[in-house]
Amino acid sequence: MDSQTIKNLIEQGLPGAAAEVSGADGVHFEAVVVAEAFRGKLPLARHRLVYATLGDLMGGAIHALSLKTVTPEEAGNH
């Protein structure tokens, strides 16, 4: 598994999302995902949206994924 594949899966699964994914060891990854779909959702619900784009890879090819999920407005404030 590699960061580019994870980025592509997230962006395809969440239309309009922009993801930045890093992870040098091929099993532990960090992602920052900016998506309008997160508006009005609590962090757990946001994370579930991202996990849904990765399906069975979570806990398999992707051992761990640290997430930061923000709306476009929240991204502009950081």
pLDDT in tens, 31-77: 999 999 999 999 999 999 999 999 999 888 898 999 999 999 999 87
Mean pLDDT of 12-35: 95
Q: Of 48, 51, 53, which Cα lies nearest the Cα of 12?
A: 53
Residue 22 CA to residue 65 CA, distance in Å, equals: 10
C-beta of residue 33 within 8 angstroms of C-beta of residue 27: no
Residue 46 CA to residue 15 CA, distance in Å, equals: 14
Mean pLDDT of 23-34: 93
**60: how many CB neighbours lie within 10 A of its CB?**
11
Determine if the pTM surpasses 0.85: yes
